[in-house]
């Protein structure tokens, strides 16, 4: 028998009154999110001087080719480094949300792409295991990950810190999670328009939005490692295990 969550129990009228107070806060948050989204779209762009070449199932392809005829490209920086047995659990949790979104995004002129440094054969094998359909390219032969601050060479570490999420911070692994957005104009030039890291990648975790509606919520307070409960979707079990990239801070 599970222990009930200690919580006030009130009349329906009081619940409605308190719900209305929360509703005002939710509406304010929605309006603030809309304002921040406008600021995000207003950010200046950076023209890329390097048209990175990736290893894909269709052979070597330049970044400018991966838009698939669309103007916008949304990249998940997926933590899967050369020599790893499998992709990061937390990045896999993110990726579990991609296939359902891909068709809808395509009709908003957006192509979805995951990028990792692991060899393409390893990416394809893991993709088959997980049953994913989205496009996944290997950046193992270029500097894309390092240039966008989601992979770190030994010389990138200064006193144990690397440049991640736009500041120097401790990060124990060679690869980190992130999302980057690019735009391709009619002349074929590619521009970097946006990147987000740390807890910013939660925009790709729709499951969290639903979890946040429930009484227990994320249940990640205290000593628990953030996202410690997450597993590869074919590996859920009772034994706890920390997520490989769950310790990123906002």
Contacts (Cβ under 8 Å, ≥6 apart) of 146: 152, 153, 156
d(CA 93, CA 17): 37
Q: What is the dihedral of CA 12, 14, 17, 18, to 10 degrees?
A: -110
Query: pLDDT per position in the chain (250 positions), as tens?
Result: 456 678 899 999 999 999 999 999 999 999 999 999 999 999 999 999 999 999 999 999 999 999 999 999 999 999 999 999 999 999 999 999 999 999 999 999 999 999 999 999 999 999 999 999 999 999 999 999 999 999 999 999 999 999 999 999 999 999 999 999 999 999 999 999 999 999 999 999 999 999 999 998 888 765 556 788 899 999 998 644 555 554 444 5
93 has which bridge partners? none
pLDDT at 244: 57
Annotated domain spans of the chain: 46-204
Q: Distance (Å, rounded) from C-alpha 96 to C-alpha 74? A: 15
What gap in Å lies between CA 157 and CA 163, rounded to an integer? 8
Could you tell me the CATH superfamily of domain 46-204? Glutaredoxin (3.40.30.10)
User: What are the helix (H) ranges across the chain?
Assistant: 12-41, 89-95, 98-106, 120-130, 144-147, 206-211
Per-residue pLDDT, 247: 45
């Amino acid at each position: 028998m599970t222990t009930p969550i200690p919580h006030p129990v009130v009349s329906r009228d009081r619940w409605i009154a308190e719900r209305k107070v929360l509703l005002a806060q939710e509406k304010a948050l929605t309006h603030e999110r809309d304002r921040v989204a406008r600021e995000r779209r207003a950010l200046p762009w950076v023209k890329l001087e390097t048209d990175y070449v990736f290893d894909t199932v269709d052979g070597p392809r330049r970044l400018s080719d991966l838009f698939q005829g669309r103007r916008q490209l949304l990249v998940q920086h997926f933590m899967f480094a050369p020599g790893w047995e499998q992709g990061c659990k937390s990045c896999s949790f993110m990726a579990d949300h991609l296939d359902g979104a891909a068709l809808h995004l395509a009709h908003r002129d957006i192509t979805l792409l995951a990028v990792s440094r692991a060899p393409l054969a390893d990416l394809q094998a893991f993709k088959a295991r997980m049953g994913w359909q989205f496009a996944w390219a290997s950046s193992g032969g270029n500097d894309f990950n390092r240039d966008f601050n989601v992979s770190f060479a030994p010389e990138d570490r200064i006193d144990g810190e690397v440049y991640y999420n736009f500041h120097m911070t401790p990060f124990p692994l060679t690869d980190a999670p992130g999302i980057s957005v690019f735009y391709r104009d009619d002349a074929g030039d590619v521009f970097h328009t946006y990147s987000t890291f740390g807890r910013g990648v939660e925009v790709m975790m729709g499951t969290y939005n639903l979890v946040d509606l429930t009484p227990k919520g994320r249940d990640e307070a205290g000593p628990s490692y953030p996202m410690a409960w997450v597993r590869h979707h074919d590996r859920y079990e009772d034994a706890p295990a920390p997520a490989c990239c769950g310790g990123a801070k906002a």
